[in-house]
Amino acid sequence: MPTDDAPATSDRHADALSVPAHIAIIMDGNGRWANARGMPRAAGHERGVEALRRTVEAAGNLGIRYLTVYSFSTENWRRPAAEVNALFGLLKTFIKKDLARLREEGVKIRILGRREGLPDDIAVLVDKAERDTAENNEFFLNIAFNYGGREEIARAARKLGMAVARGDLDPADVSEDVFESYLDTSGMPDPDLLIRTSGEYRLSNFLLWQAAYCELVFFDVLWPDFDRSWLEKAIRIYNERERRFGAVTTGDA
Ligand code: IPE
Ligand code: IPE
Ligand code: MG
């Protein structure tokens, strides 16, 4: 995490690069990583957690403020129960093992996605992770778990509809900003850069609203092999992009 004695701007690798405020990652390829080694898919997911730890640390050191990672999608329920259970178990272990340290380092954790339908023990841990880190503001780690972009938008619409029905909200006042305030990422900047590993070129229902203008970077590397050097590579690619947001380039006639 960035600290006073090690400011991110003095990091020798990040010199002269503009560091995006918010990076989102689709951590894909755990199963293929394990398959290639004759290991069970769950072993790939375990190594994926190690890659996540490395990435959170690297992101903090590089001066990134927000990191949003895709851990379990609403579509991942289609996997065999044993694999779903293994993924749930890994989230539990991650929170149990890492929460105290992340809290100490000033990380604010938010879990994005649908809470209903999560096993009770997970729901309790997820609430605890958010509660214990609620006062932190050094670094924001969003874990998308039981998350789907369409589900998030539909749930936001439902909440908004209820506010209208209660008489708390006038439909004429529903702007993009108002709608955004009902999303799981309420109050956060949109991601500037989205990275997907494993050579797949799709969003798989991740951050459909928030990714409207983010830069997309796809790598062939499988998630368990991801490390700081890949993160730096993505930031370099991001720096070569020209973000126009629909306007024309400065200097055009
Ligand atoms: C990403 O790895 C982790 C989750 C989707 C939970 P995968 O499990 O999708 O790995 P591949 O894509 O099958 O290799
Ligand atoms: C996306 O990966 C979800 C996560 C990384 C958690 P998937 O492996 O589930 O996506 P598809 O099935 O290739 O689209
Ligand atoms: Mg996959």
For 169-219, what is each residue's pLDDT tens digit? 999 999 999 999 999 999 999 999 999 999 999 999 999 999 999 999 999
Asked if residue 88 lies in contact with residue 122, where contact means CB atoms within 8 angstroms, the answer is: yes
Q: Please answer whether residues 105 and 60 qualify as being in contact, where contact means their C-beta atoms are separated by less than 8 angstroms.
A: yes
The tokens for 34 are 């394990």
Contacts of 74 (CB under 8 A, 6+ apart): 113, 114, 146, 147, 148, 151, 205
* pLDDT reported for residue 6: 41
Q: Which of 11, 35, 76, 239 is catalytic?
A: 76
The protein residue whose alpha carbon is closest to atom 8 in ligand 2 is 28
121 belongs to a structural domain: yes
Ramachandran class of 2: left when φ > 0, alpha when ψ lies in -120 to 50, beta otherwise: beta
Distance CA 120, CA 137 (A): 28
Residue 4 lies in a domain: no
Task: Tally the residues of the chain.
Answer: 253
Q: What type of residue is 58? A: A
Nearest CA to ligand 2 atom 9: 76
- Residue 28 CA to ligand 2 centre (angstroms): 6
Rg of the chain, C-alpha, whole Å: 19
> Would residue 205 count as lying in a domain?
yes
Atom of ligand 1 nearest to the CA of 32: 14
Question: Residues with Cβ within 6 A of ligand 1?
Answer: 27-32, 72, 76, 87, 198, 223
pLDDT at 8: 45
57, part of any domain: yes
Q: Is 28 annotated as catalytic?
A: yes
Q: SS3 for 187-248, per residue?
A: CCCCCCEEEECCCCCCCCCCCCCHHHHCEEEECCCCHHHCCHHHHHHHHHHHHHCCCCCCCC
Helix, strand, coil proportions of the chain in percent (round to 5)?
50, 15, 35
Q: Residue 142 has what pLDDT?
A: 98
Return the bridge partners of 108, or none: 140
For position 15, what pLDDT does the model report?
57
Q: Quick check: is 113 in a domain?
A: yes
Task: Give pLDDT, residue 249.
Answer: 81
Q: Does residue 3 belong to any structural domain of this protein? A: no
Q: Report the candidate in 59, 60, 56, 85 with the shortest Cα–Cα distance to residue 2.
A: 60
Query: Residue 253: its pLDDT value, please?
Result: 66
CA distances 70 to 125, 178, 197, Å, are 18, 25, 11
Q: Does the CA dihedral 27-28-33-34 come out positive or negative?
A: positive
Low-confidence ranges of the chain (pLDDT < 50): 1-12, 14
203 CA from centroid of ligand 1 (Å): 13
Range of the domain at 24: 19-148+190-240
Domain CATH number, residue 227? 3.40.1180.10
Domain membership of residue 59 (yes or no) is yes
At 67, is the secondary structure helix, strand, or coil? strand
> Measured in angstroms, how far is the CA atom of residue 122 from the centroid of ligand 2?
21
- Number of structural domains (the chain) is 1
On whether residue 35 sits in a domain, the answer given is yes
